[in-house]
Amino acid sequence: MREKSYASLLRSLNEFVRLQEEYGITICVENMGGWECCHFRTPEFLAELRERDLGFALDVGHAVLNRNLDLFLEAGGFCHVHLHDNGGETDDHLACGNGIANFSSLISRIPDQATLVVETKALPAADRSLRFLAPLIDGGG
C-alpha cells in the first residue's frame, strides 16, 4: 500500500499545482510527524515540492520528532512555520520552550518573509508560547 499511497500523494501535489496557478496563491505543504505511514518526514521530500514550485510549511514539532529539524533548517525554502514543542517522543503540541526544540537557534534561521503560527492544543499554551518567543523574535534570536 505504501507505493499506492505515495502515488496518490504525488497526484495530490500535482492538483495543488493546478490550484496554485488557478488562484494565484502559494500552497505550502507541511512536513509530517513520526508516523511510519507519512511520506514527508525528511528533507529529501522537498525535491518533490521544489520540482512543482510548491511552498513548504515547516512544522517544528514534527521535525523534532523525526530528529531532523537542523536538516530542514539547512535545506531552507520554507514560507510558513508551525511553532510548537514536544519532548521528542509524541506530537504533544506543547508551548514553545516546554520541550526540547532549540527556539533560540531556530528563530534566527527563519526567513523574514515566512509567516509564523503558534500551534498548541490549548489557548494558555499559546499565550505562554507568545511570551516565550517575543524576546527571541524582537531581539533577533
Cα 81 from Cα 76, distance rounded (Å): 11
Secondary-structure class of domain 28-138 per CATH: alpha beta
Which residues have a Cβ under 8 Å from the Cβ of 34 and sit 6 or more positions away? 41, 62, 65, 66, 91
pLDDT of residue 140: 56
pLDDT of residue 139: 74
Which of 62, 66, 128, 63 has its CA nearest to residue 95?
Answer: 128
Quickly count: other Cβ atoms within 10 Å of residue 109's Cβ.
Answer: 15
Hey, CA dihedral for 50, 55, 60, 66, is it positive or negative? Answer: negative
pLDDT of residue 17: 98
pLDDT values of the chain reduced to their tens digit, one per residue, 141 residues: 899 999 999 999 999 999 999 999 999 999 999 888 899 999 999 999 999 999 999 999 999 999 999 999 999 999 999 999 999 999 999 999 999 999 999 999 999 899 999 999 999 999 999 999 999 998 755
Residue with cell 506543547: 94
